[in-house]
Amino acid sequence: MSHTVGIRQNQKLRTRQALLDAALGLLEEQSLSSLGLREVTRATGITPTAFYRHFESVPALGVALVEQTLGSLHGMIGAILAETGDSEVRLDRSVELIRRHVREQPAHFRFIAREQHGGVGPVRDAIAAQLRLFAEEVAAALATEPESEGWAGEDLLMLGGLYVDHMVITASALLDAGPAGDGQVARVARRRLRLIALGALHWLDEPAQGT
């Protein structure tokens, strides 16, 4: 790659990120379905025509925001799941991971919370796909643990989904509580995670007669 090509590529990446940042700022006050392309380009200082060098549409920009927000979590959650040792510590670290990310990127998580059930189909689908992938990753990690011996694959995926649903609920609660109340939200989140973990330990128990 020549020096000139490298400069152009870096400029393109900076412009793309500027569009994402501008859209995220505008989405603090509105939903993606009401966001206009010209609003984004005006905030970025580029022409509407230049927008299409980076995204084919505003929904495509929204999908990129989903990938930017949730994609970065895969490696971190994978590292926590790969840890061995005290499960209590692992649960605590999971909650702290969510707490830290919500603190550092509140606008990103407000966007996810709003658009998860919003009116833009490709963005809803992108969020659902990322959450499904999280559930599959958690299920795969759980399958390697001795406690999961005898579990069916679909049950492990269901348990992974419970953990992921809990992550989403916790992130929304942290946003609503703000910095002043996130300690209480984190405490409740840990207790709920422990409740799920305790239930999982008894999933294969024989059901009582008559149930």
Cα–Cα distance between 118 and 178 in angstroms, integer?
Answer: 23
**Residue range 103-161, pLDDT digits in tens:** 999 999 999 999 999 999 999 999 999 999 999 999 998 898 888 999 999 999 999 99
Decide if 1 is inside a domain.
no
Decide if 80 is inside a domain.
yes
Shared domain for 37 and 119, answered yes or no, is no
What is the average per-residue pLDDT within 41-66? 95
Determine what percent of the chain falls in helix, strand and coil, rounding each to the nearest 5. 80, 0, 20
Does the structure show a pLDDT above 90 at 6?
no
Residue 2 is predicted with a pLDDT of 61
Cα–Cα distance between 32 and 40 in angstroms, integer?
Answer: 11
Decide if 2 is inside a domain.
no
Residue 84 is predicted with a pLDDT of 58
What is the average per-residue pLDDT within 177-198? 93
Does the structure show a pLDDT above 90 at 78?
no
Residue 43: its H or E element: helix 37-44
98 in Cβ contact with 112 (< 8 Å)? no
Decide if 52 is inside a domain.
yes
CA quadruple 97, 157, 64, 176: dihedral sign: negative
Residue 86 is predicted with a pLDDT of 67
Predicted TM-score (pTM) of this structure = 0.88
* 147 C-beta neighbours (distance < 10 Å), count: 13
Shared domain for 123 and 19, answered yes or no, is no
Decide if 12 is inside a domain.
yes
What is the average per-residue pLDDT within 57-74? 92
Q: What is the CATH number of the domain that holds 27?
A: 1.10.10.60
For the ranges 37-41, 51-55, 128-132, 144-148, which has the lowest average pLDDT?
144-148
Shared domain for 26 and 78, answered yes or no, is no
Q: How confident is the model at residue 196 (pLDDT cuts 50, 70, 90)?
A: very high
170 in Cβ contact with 189 (< 8 Å)? yes
Shared domain for 99 and 130, answered yes or no, is yes
Last residue of a domain, one of 23, 41, 58: 58
62 in Cβ contact with 115 (< 8 Å)? yes
Domain of 29, in residue numbers: 7-58
How many domains is the chain partitioned into structurally? 2
What is the average per-residue pLDDT within 158-180? 93
Cα–Cα distance between 148 and 193 in angstroms, integer?
Answer: 17
Decide if 206 is inside a domain.
no
**Residue 20: strand, helix, or coil:** helix
The secondary structure of 176-197 as a DSSP string is HHHHHHHHHHHHHHHHHHHHHH
19 in Cβ contact with 51 (< 8 Å)? yes
